[in-house]
């Protein structure tokens, strides 16, 4: 990440009265980059977006665009456009009037507005719908009108506040790709707020995960998915199986001690800062391999012994609940194991995320909000 991005957010803090909502947010976003702000409900995503847009004043820090400090500028002077979840279209105006609304406010001549609106309609696949009112459009079409209105003013930065969350699941998938393709084609810089992990993964160049008003981790989708730096991020990114293990670093490896459900094992440290003692181990259900108890398991990683307690078929694979000593975990397999069957659960080193227990690493000062539950 470059030191000075096109959009720089430096040490931003935010609060509603005495309630601190954002703490020391630093982001450097390159021109043309698509960044997803991902986090659970109430973690501060919308507050951060609206602070960048200029609708909320930060209590500390600065925001600049192309080297110019915009922290004290009103929203319409920042070269940004915000698209809301609710579309916020004018119901009494036609599609064309809605798209041209910002241009009219800026005093653009009528003929120019007409040309720009029809270019937007073509760009967004709204040709022939210019005379309709929003009530006579589908959700996907309304969302495109809202996008057209935002893009019509030719913003340098597009801010998207869950713009797809009112669309039904199938249209959502299509609009995701349309929006991403459009953003690439226009080379526009975009920040997209979402609590949908998959949406962030497929759309963004970079994912910024917020936890209780702080950046928990940021990086390319594959980086935050495969190398979470905290138990919070691992859980948020779907590694919901959790076990307590203990071990100690030895050279380049972390040696896991035998436990109630596991034989000793060794996994490479791969740059992780683990200390001797208890570790929280996390892995995804799809990252586990299931074997019957009698099958010899070879290969690096760690193997747990357990018993299947339930099996279901969510589609594509069988999902098993498996009891490992005091823990219950989920593991997928291409065939069904029977409830009551003794099984081995093998997790490869790269799929096993280990974190030293919180009491062995200092926790950040801000506490998790009551609404900061993980719902990836
Ligand atoms: N106007 C306000 N006054 C007081 N507190 C607020 C206000 N708006 C938001 N908050 C609080 O600030 C915190 C962050 O809210 P924010 O809307 O930024 O979260 P979010 O991550 O966008 O959540 P969601 O995904 O549910 O939209 C929450 O605890 C929320 O209750």
What's the pLDDT score for residue 282? 96
Taking the centre of ligand 1 as the mean of its atom positions, its distance from the CA of residue 47, in whole angstroms, is 6
CB of 2 within 6 A of ligand 1: the answer is: no
pLDDT bucket at 2, cuts 50 / 70 / 90 = very low
Closest CA to 280 of 242, 318, 324, 330: 242
Closest CA to 158 of 34, 292, 251, 309: 34
pLDDT of 370 higher than 50: no
Mutation to probe ligand 1, out of 14, 20, 44, 372 (largest number of atoms < 8 A from CB):
44
CB of 194 within 6 A of ligand 1: the answer is: no
CB of 43 within 6 A of ligand 1: the answer is: yes
From the options 3.40.50.720, 1.10.510.10, 2.60.120.10, 2.40.50.140, give the CATH code of 232-360: 2.40.50.140
- Taking the domains of the chain in order of start, what are their residue ranges? 7-226, 232-360
- 223-239 pLDDT per residue, tens: 999 999 999 999 999 99
pLDDT bucket at 166, cuts 50 / 70 / 90 = confident
pTM, 2 dp: 0.86
What are the angstrom distances between the C-alpha of 57 and each of 13, 84, 93, 140, 210? 9, 19, 31, 32, 19
Averaged pLDDT, 208-222: 97
Strand-pair partners of 65: 7, 68
Residue that is written with structure tokens 């001690």 in the block: 257
- 300-334 pLDDT per residue, tens: 889 999 999 999 999 999 999 999 988 999 999 99
Q: Give CA 195 to chain center in angstroms.
A: 6
- 31-85 pLDDT per residue, tens: 999 999 999 889 999 999 999 999 999 999 999 999 999 999 999 899 999 988 7
Phi then psi for residue 8, to 5 deg, are -115, 125
pLDDT of 4 higher than 70: no
What's the pLDDT score for residue 123? 82
Mutation to probe ligand 1, out of 22, 23, 45, 55 (largest number of atoms < 8 A from CB):
45
- 97-149 pLDDT per residue, tens: 999 998 898 889 998 999 999 988 888 888 899 899 989 988 888 888 998 89
The distance in angstroms from the start CA to the end CA of the chain is 26
Mutation to probe ligand 1, out of 37, 38, 47 (largest number of atoms < 8 A from CB):
47
CB of 21 within 6 A of ligand 1: the answer is: yes
pLDDT of 367 higher than 60: no
Cα-based angle 360, 361, 364 (whole degrees, multiple of 5): 140
pLDDT of 214 higher than 70: yes
Distance CA 58, CA 49 (A): 11
Distance CA 347, CA 301 (A): 6
- Name the CATH topology of 7-226: Rossmann fold (3.40.50)
Q: Which ligand 1 atom sits closest to the C-alpha of 48?
A: 18
Burial of 357 (0-12, 13-18, 19+ CB in 10 A): middle
pLDDT of 361 higher than 80: no
What's the pLDDT score for residue 372? 35
What's the pLDDT score for residue 363? 37
Taking the centre of ligand 1 as the mean of its atom positions, its distance from the CA of residue 360, in whole angstroms, is 31
């Amino acid at each position: 990440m470059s030191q000075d991005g096109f959009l720089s957010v430096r040490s931003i803090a935010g609060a509603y009265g005495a309630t601190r909502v954002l703490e020391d947010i630093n982001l450097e976003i390159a021109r043309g980059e698509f960044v997803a702000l991902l986090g659970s409900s109430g973690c501060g995503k919308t507050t951060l977006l609206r602070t960048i847009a200029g609708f909320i004043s930060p209590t500390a820090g600065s925001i600049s665009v192309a080297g110019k400090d915009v922290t004290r500028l009103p929203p319409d002077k920042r070269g940004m456009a915000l698209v809301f979840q609710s579309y916020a279209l004018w119901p009494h105006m036609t599609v064309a009037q809605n798209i041209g609304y910002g241009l009219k406010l800026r005093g653009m001549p009528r003929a120019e507005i007409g040309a720009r609106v029809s270019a937007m309609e073509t760009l967004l696949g709204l040709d022939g719908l210019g005379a309709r009112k929003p009530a006579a459009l589908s959700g996907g079409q309304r969302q495109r009108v809202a996008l057209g209105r935002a893009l019509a003013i030719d913003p340098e930065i597009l801010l998207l506040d869950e713009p797809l969350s009112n669309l039904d699941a199938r249209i959502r998938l299509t609009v995701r790709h349309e929006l991403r393709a459009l953003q690439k084609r226009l080379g526009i810089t975009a920040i997209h707020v979402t609590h949908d992990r998959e949406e962030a993964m497929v759309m963004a160049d970079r994912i910024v995960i917020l936890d209780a008003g702080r950046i928990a981790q940021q990086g390319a989708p594959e980086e935050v998915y495969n190398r979470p730096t905290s138990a919070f991020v691992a859980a948020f990114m779907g590694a919901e199986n959790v076990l307590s293990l203990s071990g100690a670093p030895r050279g380049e490896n972390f040696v896991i001690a035998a436990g109630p459900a596991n034989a000793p094992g060794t996994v490479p440290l791969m740059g992780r800062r683990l200390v001797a003692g208890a570790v929280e181990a996390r892995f995804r259900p799809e990252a586990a391999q299931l074997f019957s108890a009698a099958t010899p398991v070879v290969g690096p990683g760690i193997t747990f012994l357990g018993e299947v307690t339930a099996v279901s078929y969510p589609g594509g694979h069988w999902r098993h609940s498996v009891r490992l000593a005091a823990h219950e975990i989920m593991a997928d397999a291409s065939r069904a194991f029977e409830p009551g069957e003794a099984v081995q659960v093998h997790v490869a080193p790269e799929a096993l995320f280990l974190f030293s227990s919180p009491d062995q690493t200092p926790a950040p000062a801000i506490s998790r909000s009551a609404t900061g539950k993980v719902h990836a």
